[in-house]
Structure 1
C-alpha cells in the first residue's frame, strides 16, 4: 500500500491542513498539502456533498510546495 511505510502503527502526517475557511451560505473549504509531493488539494464541503481537486494557481498550474 502506498500510504504505509515501515511500522503501520506509526502515525505519519502525509496530508496536513494548510488552511480552512467557512463561507456563510456555502459551506467550508479546506486546503490540504501532501507532505511527500508538496501538491496542494482543495476540498469543498456543502451539506451532504463535497469534492476534492488539486489547487491551481493563476496560470492553471497545480500548486506545489516543495517539501523541506
Structure 2
C-alpha cells in the first residue's frame, strides 16, 4: 500500500493558458482555490460568508 496523498482535487476548469482548481486537504477538510495563468499561480483558502474557511468532509476514496 502506498502513502495516501494529503490533498485531493475536487474541481478543475481550464482554458488555453489558465486553470482554476479547488483542492481539499484530507486532514483538515479545508478547501483551497488555485489559479494558474502562464508561468504564475496562486493558492488561497476558500472562505464562507462568515469569513471562516470552507470545510468539506471527504468520503474515503480510492486514487
**Which runs of structure 1 show a deviation greater than 6 angstroms over 4 or more consecutive aligned residues?**
none
Count of matched residue pairs: 59
Scaled by the length of structure 2, the TM-score of the pair is 0.75
Q: Unpaired runs of 5+ in structure 1?
A: 1-8
Larger radius of gyration: 1
Scaled by the length of structure 1, the TM-score of the pair is 0.71
Segment of structure 1 superposing worse, 50-59 or 33-42: 50-59
The residue number in structure 2 matching 1:31 is 22
Q: Deviations over 1:14-52 (max 9, x none)?
A: 10001001156x711110000111000111000000001
Q: Unpaired runs of 5+ in structure 2?
A: none
Equivalent runs, 1:50-61 vs 2, <5 Å: 50-61=41-52
The residue number in structure 2 matching 1:3 is none
